[in-house]
């Protein structure tokens, strides 16, 4: 799509008289819009200009003929759908800008924080959310100062109404989310979408540094807060690096080569093997949510997380200086799993509440610690514990699952926490055996939990839970065998339900 093809704002939308934007800034605002639309059109063309070469290279490295065919077929399909994707993307950017002019944009949290998007049963949505989260997080970390300046200047144009960082029509969240929404109607496999996201990150998101510098300079030249000084108030975060000299430079100074903030300063991203199945780096995908949870723990340690329960850090002694080792954590979880195994039949009659499990874990740690009043869970492991807790909170709150199925699944919390502490791929790889098993059981509960054969399904789910609690000691092969057997049972159940429905229709 050429620069001239960027969709114009409709005449009825372009009028500023009844909007939040002051009419005297109308020409300036339209100039900024044109700058953004043209730059994004140019960068998006770069994305699609690299698709054929990238997919051809991936096809050459494909592990088998089936995967090779996938890359070649996707190459043709992306070419066919490119005009539609580009048109949809630019329309969404233009729509965001129109909402800004009309004062419709509201300060709101990013969509990826919706607890429903943390559900293990929503594999591809979850993977795409993490792709967007990490792209946006990298831009925010790199462009803290120019984004702050841009938001202050846009607020002035908007009659002083301050924009949240995620409701900035030119911000990284809006730009990345527009691409995700443009891809949504396309039936590309996740592996292909991941490659498109990586190319978008490389060609569009890494070009935002220069775009924000240009936007700020245009507003400065127009006399909009030309002497603005950087003074953003940042939420404390354990994951945020120490501020460097580049961030203290004048806001119009473009980072030099090699400095933090330079567009090419992320060789790890540029050198990714795009032919590999997604995600190639579980820790990179996990870091987005972990960072957000870390900020919440630092600023609101006693407030509930998205799932409704408190962070594990709220159970630790105040002022504790020592952190429990990974071995101490795993030993505590092993003891809890052994205790569950002793009277599991009785336990399976009532749900395992997330907050109760966290309290039990803290008690186990303190009971076997040499310094119980001076020890706490480390920030990194607290993030894992809290994220697993949020996932099981979601299961317990899911209105689509019968209560009996929720109760059975809730008792997998302890072994799944053991897995997550040792293997972050549980969160990021949809083919992880433990994740596949939990997905399959949750989906079966939603589909067949209210059928007449509910007791049979529940008995099978409870049998799986018992096998995990009695048999899991670190070997994930157990989950591979369990999912094969469970899926075989569900397939039989599906045929029974289909036969019952067909007979009911014939008898009607």
- The residue with tokens 């592996």 is 191
Residue 147 contacts residue 9 (beta carbons within 8 Å)? no
Bridge partners of residue 322, in order along the sequence = 375
- CB neighbours (10 Å) of residue 141? 15
Residue 290, burial from CB neighbour count under 10 angstroms (0-12, 13-18, 19+): buried
Domain definitions of the chain by residue range: 3-230, 304-507
pTM of the model: 0.48
In what helix (H) or strand (E) does residue 322 lie, and over which residues does it extend?
strand 322-323
- CB neighbours (10 Å) of residue 349? 8
Local confidence pLDDT in tens for the 508 residues of the chain: 444 445 444 433 344 434 456 667 778 888 999 999 999 999 999 999 999 999 988 888 888 888 899 999 999 999 999 999 999 999 999 998 888 887 776 544 444 444 444 444 456 777 888 889 889 988 988 898 899 899 888 888 877 777 776 788 999 999 999 999 999 999 999 999 999 999 999 999 999 999 999 999 999 999 888 888 765 444 333 333 333 333 333 343 333 333 333 333 333 333 344 444 444 444 555 565 566 666 666 666 677 776 778 888 888 888 888 999 989 999 999 999 999 998 888 899 999 999 999 999 999 999 998 887 888 998 889 889 988 998 898 888 888 888 999 999 999 999 999 999 998 888 877 789 999 999 889 888 888 876 555 568 999 999 999 999 999 988 899 999 999 999 999 888 888 877 877 777 777 5
What was the pLDDT predicted at 297?
A: 66
What was the pLDDT predicted at 396?
A: 87
What was the pLDDT predicted at 124?
A: 74
Report the alpha-carbon distance of residue 284 to residue 227 in Å, rounded: 37
Copy the structure tokens of residue 159.
């009659």
Of residues 410, 424, 420, 428, the one with CA closest to residue 118: 428
What was the pLDDT predicted at 453?
A: 52
What was the pLDDT predicted at 353?
A: 93
Of residues 271, 256, 149, 137, the one with CA closest to residue 205: 137
231: helix, strand or coil: coil
What was the pLDDT predicted at 449?
A: 77
């Amino acid at each position: 799509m050429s620069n001239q093809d960027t969709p114009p704002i409709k005449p009825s939308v372009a009028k500023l008289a009844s909007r939040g934007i002051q009419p005297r800034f109308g020409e300036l605002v339209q100039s900024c819009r044109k700058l953004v639309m043209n730059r994004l059109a140019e960068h998006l063309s770069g994305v699609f200009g690299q698709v054929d070469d990238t997919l051809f290279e991936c096809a050459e490295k494909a592990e088998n003929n089936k995967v090779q065919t996938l890359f070649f077929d996707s190459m043709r399909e992306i070419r066919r759908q490119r005009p539609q994707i580009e048109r949809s993307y630019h329309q969404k950017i233009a729509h965001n800008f129109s909402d800004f002019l009309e004062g419709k944009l509201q300060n709101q949290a990013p969509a990826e924080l919706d607890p429903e998007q943390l559900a293990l049963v929503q594999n591809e949505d979850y993977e795409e959310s993490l792709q967007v989260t990490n792209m946006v997080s990298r831009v925010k970390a790199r462009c803290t100062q120019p984004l702050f300046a841009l938001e202050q200047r846009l607020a002035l144009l908007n009659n002083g109404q301050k924009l949240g960082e995620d409701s900035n029509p030119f911000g990284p969240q809006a730009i990345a989310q527009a691409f995700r929404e443009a891809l949504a109607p396309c039936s590309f496999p996740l592996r292909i979408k991941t490659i498109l996201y990586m190319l978008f990150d490389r060609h569009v998101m890494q070009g935002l540094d220069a775009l924000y510098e240009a936007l700020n300079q245009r507003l400065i030249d127009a006399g909009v807060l030309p002497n603005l000084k950087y003074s953003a108030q940042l939420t404390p975060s354990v994951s945020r690096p120490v501020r460097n000299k580049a961030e203290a430079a004048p806001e119009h100074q473009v980072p030099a080569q090699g400095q933090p903030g330079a567009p090419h300063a992320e060789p790890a991203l540029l050198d990714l093997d795009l032919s590999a199945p997604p995600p190639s780096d579980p820790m990179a995908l996990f870091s987005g949510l972990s960072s957000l949870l870390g900020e919440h723990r630092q600023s609101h340690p006693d407030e509930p997380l998205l799932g409704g329960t408190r962070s594990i850090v709220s159970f630790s002694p105040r002022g504790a200086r020592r952190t429990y080792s990974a071995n101490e954590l795993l030993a505590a979880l092993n003891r809890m799993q052994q205790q569950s195994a002793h009277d599991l039949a009785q336990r399976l009659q009532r749900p395992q509440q997330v907050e109760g499990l966290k309290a039990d874990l803290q008690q186990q740690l303190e009971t076997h610690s040499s310094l119980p009043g001076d020890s706490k869970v480390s920030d990194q492991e607290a993030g894992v514990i809290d994220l697993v807790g949020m996932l099981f909170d979601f299961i317990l709150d899911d209105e689509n699952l019968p209560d009996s199925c929720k109760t059975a699944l809730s008792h997998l919390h302890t072994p799944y926490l053991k897995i997550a502490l040792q293997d972050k791929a549980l969160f990021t790889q949809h083919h992880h055996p433990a994740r596949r098993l939990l997905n399959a059981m949750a989906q079966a509960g939603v589909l067949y939990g209210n059928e007449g054969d509910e007791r049979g399904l529940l008995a099978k789910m409870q049998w799986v839970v018992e096998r995990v609690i009695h048999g899991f000691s670190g070997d994930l092969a157990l989950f591979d065998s369990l999912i094969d057997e469970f899926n075989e049972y569900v397939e039989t159940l599906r045929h029974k339900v289909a036969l019952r429905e067909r007979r009911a229709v014939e008898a009607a």
